Structure 1
Amino acid sequence: MSEPSTLYRNAVVHCAVPSASAVVVADGVFSWVGEVADAPRAQRVVDLAGAWLAPAFVDAHVHATDTGLVLSGLDLSGVDGAGALLAAVAAFARGLPAGATVLGHGWDESGWPVGARVPPSAGELDRVSGGRRVYLSQASVHAALVSSALLAEVPASAGGWSSSGLLSREAHHVARRAAFAGLSAGDRSRAQRVMLGRAAASGVAAVHECAGPEISSEADLLGVLALSGDGLPEVYGYWGELGGAVRARELGAVGAAGDLFADGALGSRTAWVSQPYTSGGCGHGYVTAAQVGAHLVECAGVGVQGGFHAIGDAAVREVLAGFRWAADRLGVARVRAGGHRMEHLEVLDRELVAALVEFGVTASVQPVFDAWWGGSAGMYAERLGVARALATNPLGSLHAVGVGLAFGSDAPVTPVDPWGAVAAAVGHHVPAQRLGVRAAFAAHTRGGWRALGPVAGPAARAVREREGTVAPGAPATFAVWEVPGGWADGLPRVGAGVPAPVCTRTVLRGREIYSV
């Protein structure tokens, strides 16, 4: 049964028609865009009272269950030291059954006072949690603090294991699986709904869920995919398992990509870098070029998108060597046709950027990483030294040579806050790497659709090409905003001290999934 047509009028419409002030939506698409005086009749009329109507955002990298648990549970992003962390765990644990697992996220010792950056031990977590199993992921989600009860479930032979309870690498993956195994399907669904609801209220109409055996589970991915578009944003799944292209397709994922780890993260010193960290060591790599290439060849055979999580330059170089391996067997044109992607890409040089262009790789990036940890005095400078830190997250360099950009949050690493990401890209610590508001907005809207990779058939390709636009025939996926900070060059002003636009309505293919 067709939805009633709706005229949204008295708006500032972000489209190719400068004077447009109204749109008509019918059967999930924009059937008309123009000046309100010329608007055709519709069965329903919504007056937007001068608000801004623009394409809705796409968050190109999220973890729905983790984010929902943080939004509704133990958020440690504000703790300023070990004592505050322990107090927060104690308060949270008091409300849990004796056999429950304490799940928390977001502590970041790099922001604690100098000289007091030693995280609590497993024994201290035992004391404040009443002996419960405790899993507290660091802000990067590539390390965690665990209590003795959970530590006992992790083999001491696993890489990254420590008797202190601070785990990384393989030990962290084992602990994470054990900690989350206690969540019921209902627990996961509630958390996923919380996260997706927050996304809709932020003007986000679609998210890319980056799942995999080391970050979540098949059941978790299937659960969040089942919620897709059900009064909530659409969910596009990625399954990050090496050699898992067939399984990705079976699970309903659009790609065997996302958090398929080539390395870890800078925050936990597990990102694989070519030059040592200031504290020593070069992090850790999880894949070889031959493994990457074989994975991409398998993806081509199955017909799914491939891709990898790669942060450090050594990891990026190894993955791109794998692209070369695949191209030697398939040809560069076929590799490019796969529309593959890479996540994060924080430490790059010109040679690596050139290879991204050669192979047509989309960069799924998080501008807020620079805002939070970049610059000459942030965590990256502490880990890498100032000169190398200022070369991280080169958004401007990627954009300048035509690398496709898709912005995301990596929530819960940073919040689902699309205007925060746009502002971070516009205000990058390094002026040469700043984007204009128009380019940043496009990367967080249309860029997210394009990052989903190729689709089969001319009709599907035509729809994909129109996603993220306001034009006749395009899917009616948009958000409506109050703009208290004013305008610059036809777009909301963003930056330090400028109030962000406020979402009042989010519409997905003609159906409202959020309104105030």
Structure 2
Amino acid sequence: MESTLYTGGALYAPAEPQATALLVRDGRIAWLGPDADAPAADVTVDLGGALVTPAFVDAHVHATDTGLVLTGLDLSAAASAGELLDAVALYATTQPADAIVMGHGWDESKWPEQVPPTAADLDRVAGGRRVYLTQASVHSALVSSALLAAAPRAAGEPGFSDTGWLREEAHHAAREIALGSLSPAQRAAAQRTALTRAAQVGIGAVHECGGPGTSNEDDFTGLLALAGPAHGLPEVYGWWGELMAAAKAKELGAVGAGGDLYADGALGSRTAYLREPFLGGGGCGFSYVTAEQARDHIVDCARHRTQGGFHAIGDAALAEVLEGFSGAVKVLGVDVVRQARHRIEHAELVDKAMIAAFVEMGITASMQPAFDRLWGGPRQMYAQRLGVARSMDSNPMGALHGVGVTLAFGSDSPVTPLDPWGSVRAAVSHFNPAHRMAVRSAFAAHTKGAWRSIHRDGEGVLAKDAPATFAVWQTPAGHSGGLPHLVSQVLEERGPDDPTPLPRCLRTVVRGVTIFEE
């Protein structure tokens, strides 16, 4: 393989603070240092003063859903039920009469009247087509009567409503029909679209979270086969979320039996499992995994020498899962559990005792800082669902980081967009100052932390002999110390709506291969 010298840049390489150039050979960084000392190379690329950092890793994505949103019906801007219906009506006119209308992103918590349309409303505007519209959390959906008829199993499952707003297992039944309507070619096209967008924003690898109720085996294995620099795309590391299925996860090519292995649902759909009830109804949500099941799953993972983990958002769900981990420690010993680096996805409502358990058992917290930006604080959806006090204590990234818990940041796309610098800024600008992180720490969680969570400790850095996986950035707000300025110098402007322009990706390189160039 030919060598490539990148010169004239500003490198985020703490071990080589004077470095302005790096040499790539055989997919690795063969040298880095000042321009004046640069060795000869087959190809030279002038960086023009741009910033070079390790490429991001998005530690929690759903590629097919993301691609469908990017190319289809995005409902995140709908400010009312009427606007949602107008968007569906317009989109439906572009689809064949026998097509399924799939959309995502509506969030009734931001509407003046927080009442979504009914199945009958969707029938009317979509011309009788099957309609499947996921709420922002992807843990519930609005469906038309035609889709209800195509998914008769949903009517007998928990979470069913003849209004067409489905939750829990009823939603999973309808989702199976909706995603099953995609041809292999449509699915691959959606996945390629998602990974292409990831490359365009400086993401060199993603962690796909698949499993029953989320995707299917063909979707999962197809994505793994599609990805990687040999195909001009980011790498994909898969998590298969099925209870007691460590052997299957390994057979499917997953790095672990976890990810979206649901211990509960989501706050937006009132299905997260809470110790105290939701405000305005919904009780305490729903629990899908007992402590005993969690224990047995982690023991099963140890038996098959793979990682495990769970999706757990509510404090009651987290307590149940952590009790399961403690049970696994009694069977396996704490060292075995710690060495596995198991993960918990989301971990939104965590108290001090739970944080201590994360530390004791070496559990990684796979978190999404944009959740706080979009729904946290004193006035947004979390406050509506939980009350202000619980909302302000949610997503305590700074508290977890401060005691040494490994963090792996991601987007949960399409729940929130593929926007890594936006996620870093969200962690830096948490609504609760006690939970904020430094830019350097938040960036590490979105790079080294995500690599470490899958036992790839030598990745996510610019250093000699490290993999040549990096991104090149234009930084309109400037940079210092190797990282861009992400927050305003005006104190009153700081926070989730900070106007500081974020970096723009100019190039993404994975193991020496350029997968995106502006």
Instruction: Output the TM-score relative to the length of structure 1.
Output: 0.96
Work out the CA distance in 2 between the residues paired with 1:156 and 1:334: 43
Secondary structure of 1:388's aligned partner = helix
Post-superposition CA distance 1:460-492 (Å, at most 9, x none): xxxx32200111100000000011111244420
Answer yes or no: is 1:447 the counterpart of 2:449: yes
- Match in the other structure for 1:461: none
Post-superposition CA distance 1:260-295 (Å, at most 9, x none): 000000001100010011123000010001111111
- Match in the other structure for 1:354: 356
Answer yes or no: is 1:9 the counterpart of 2:7: yes
Q: How does 1:6-45 map to 2 (within 5 A)?
A: 6-15=4-13, 16-45=15-44
- Match in the other structure for 1:364: 366
Answer yes or no: is 1:150 the counterpart of 2:147: yes
Give, as a single letter, the amino acid of the residue that structure 2 aligns with 1:4: E
Give, as a single letter, the amino acid of the residue that structure 2 aligns with 1:268: S
Q: How does 1:109-258 map to 2 (within 5 A)?
A: 109-113=108-112, 116-152=113-149, 153=151, 154-229=153-228, 230-258=231-259
Post-superposition CA distance 1:113-138 (Å, at most 9, x none): 1xx11100000101111111110000
Give, as a single letter, the amino acid of the residue that structure 2 aligns with 1:390: M
Q: How does 1:323-402 map to 2 (within 5 A)?
A: 323-402=325-404
Post-superposition CA distance 1:73-126 (Å, at most 9, x none): 00000001111111111111111111111110000001111xx11100000101
Secondary structure of 2:166's aligned partner = strand
Secondary structure of 1:8's aligned partner = strand
Answer yes or no: is 1:317 the counterpart of 2:319: yes
Give, as a single letter, the amino acid of the residue that structure 2 aligns with 1:315: A
Give, as a single letter, the amino acid of the residue that structure 1 aligns with 2:259: G
Conserved in 1, the CA contact under 8 Å of 2:424 and 2:439? yes
- Match in the other structure for 1:82: 81
Deviation at 1:339, TM superposition (A): 1.0
Work out the CA distance in 2 between the residues paired with 1:387 and 1:255: 35
Deviation at 1:444, TM superposition (A): 0.5
Tell me which of 489, 493, 505 is aligned to 2:485.
493
Secondary structure of 2:310's aligned partner = strand
Q: How does 1:427-466 map to 2 (within 5 A)?
A: 427-452=429-454, 454=455, 464-466=456-458
Work out the CA distance in 2 between the residues paired with 1:348 and 1:31: 43
Post-superposition CA distance 1:372-418 (Å, at most 9, x none): 10001111000000111111000110001100001000000000000
- Match in the other structure for 1:66: 65
Between 294-303 and 154-163, the greater mean CA deviation after superposition? 154-163
Post-superposition CA distance 1:200-256 (Å, at most 9, x none): 000000000000011000000011101121210000011000011110000001110
Work out the CA distance in 1 between the residues paired with 2:374 and 2:313: 16
Give, as a single letter, the amino acid of the residue that structure 2 aligns with 1:236: Y
Work out the CA distance in 2 between the residues paired with 1:90 and 1:482: 40
Work out the CA distance in 2 between the residues paired with 1:375 and 1:140: 17
Work out the CA distance in 2 between the residues paired with 1:324 and 1:466: 29
Secondary structure of 2:197's aligned partner = helix
Give, as a single letter, the amino acid of the residue that structure 2 aligns with 1:217: N
Secondary structure of 1:402's aligned partner = coil
- Match in the other structure for 2:417: 415
Secondary structure of 1:269's aligned partner = coil
Conserved in 1, the CA contact under 8 Å of 2:338 and 2:363? yes
Conserved in 1, the CA contact under 8 Å of 2:154 and 2:171? no
Deviation at 1:151, TM superposition (A): 1.6
Give, as a single letter, the amino acid of the residue that structure 1 aligns with 2:75: L
Conserved in 1, the CA contact under 8 Å of 2:209 and 2:238? yes
- Match in the other structure for 1:93: 92
Secondary structure of 2:156's aligned partner = coil
Post-superposition CA distance 1:29-58 (Å, at most 9, x none): 000010010011001000001001110000
Q: Which segments of 5 or more consecutive residues in structure 1 lack a partner in the other structure?
A: 455-463
Give, as a single letter, the amino acid of the residue that structure 2 aligns with 1:37: A
Deviation at 1:156, TM superposition (A): 2.3
Work out the CA distance in 2 between the residues paired with 1:163 and 1:32: 63
Conserved in 1, the CA contact under 8 Å of 2:28 and 2:512? yes
Secondary structure of 2:212's aligned partner = coil
Deviation at 1:149, TM superposition (A): 1.4
Give, as a single letter, the amino acid of the residue that structure 2 aligns with 1:145: L
Give, as a single letter, the amino acid of the residue that structure 2 aligns with 1:273: L
Between 200-209 and 486-495, the greater mean CA deviation after superposition? 486-495
- Match in the other structure for 2:476: 484
Give, as a single letter, the amino acid of the residue that structure 2 aligns with 1:325: G
Between 490-499 and 34-43, the greater mean CA deviation after superposition? 490-499
Aligned Cα root-mean-square deviation (Å): 0.8
Conserved in 1, the CA contact under 8 Å of 2:12 and 2:481? no
Work out the CA distance in 2 between the residues paired with 1:471 and 1:489: 16
Work out the CA distance in 1 between the residues paired with 2:168 and 2:248: 24
Work out the CA distance in 2 between the residues paired with 1:298 and 1:178: 31
Work out the CA distance in 2 between the residues paired with 1:500 and 1:155: 43
Work out the CA distance in 1 between the residues paired with 2:255 and 2:389: 38
- Match in the other structure for 2:266: 265
Q: Percent identity?
A: 60
Work out the CA distance in 1 between the residues paired with 2:264 and 2:154: 21
> Runs (4+) of structure 1 moved beyond 3 Å?
none
